[in-house]
Amino acid sequence: MSRSPSLVTVGPQRVPLRCLVCRGELFTQREIKLNTSGMEFMDLGWANRSGTGLICEGCGFVHTFVGSEFELWDPREDSSR
């Protein structure tokens, strides 16, 4: 889990991610469950698949990724931007 806000690039072309709501560029990362109503109904929510949530530091919107290629990097370490 990413504890400090990071810049994110997505896909093989390393496209910079910007928040869909506020256009922010800093995100923290955490694992999220992709719950389905059927599994929750049977009390098996723990068995659902997981994804990665990138949480915007500006507004808190959660961007969900499953099987996508993305990279988090510290903005203080990369001056190419």
First to last CA, the chain: 24
Tell me the β-bridge partners of 36.
none
Residue ranges, the chain, pLDDT below 70:
1-3, 33-49, 68, 70, 73-81
- pTM comes to 0.70
Residue-level pLDDT at 55: 94
Pairing of strands 70-73, 62-65: unpaired
Residue-level pLDDT at 39: 56
Residue-level pLDDT at 2: 53
Backbone angles phi, psi at 46, to 5 degrees: -65, -20
8 with 24: CB under 8 angstroms? no
Residue-level pLDDT at 81: 46
